Structure 1
Amino acid sequence: MIDLNHLDDLARRLSALVPPGLREGREELQQNFKSVLQSGLSKLDLVTREEFDVQRAVLLRTREKLEELQRTVAALEAELGDGAGTPPPRH
């Protein structure tokens, strides 16, 4: 999920950028900024850092297994390549 402290900080920064003549409604602007930010971010297809790390670990394990299988296939192909000159036994 999105860290609301970050949104609060960003909303405060945005409200600080408002011209001095409009700062009477600063708290209201800050709340509006925060609501707009939350709404916009909720529409994005985001994952938490924990979900990202889990998927990264799964991908790493999958990549390692793939590399191991590629080495195994290469070794089997090499074995078959050594015996390529002799035809397979017929039954």
Structure 2
Amino acid sequence: MINPKPIIQEIIDPDKKFAVKIFIKRDDLIHPLISGNKWWKLKYNISEAKSTGHKTILTFGGAFSNHIAATAVMGKISGFKTIGV
């Protein structure tokens, strides 16, 4: 399974006059095809399907659906057959 990237900490003010810090969570770096909210949405569904012994994932989406593409990739990585409608 893919693991999300850690939170990156950057100091905004290098002189530390204001002691301001920002924490950036880079979900765009999780995977080139399954990033951000798609990974978080699929993670738990794939885990549940695996724990209950399912072999195939069926999903629905519009034309040129990024969700269907992400499900296909996540399914392949996780050992599932996938069907996108």
TM-score band, normalised by shorter chain: under 0.3
Name which structure has the greater RCO, CA cutoff 8 Å, separation 6+: 1
Question: Could you say which structure has the larger radius of gyration?
Answer: 1
TM-score, length basis structure 1: 0.23
Q: TM-score, normalised by structure 2?
A: 0.24
Structure 1 or 2: more helix by fraction: 1
- Give the number of the structure whose residues are more often strand, by fraction: 2
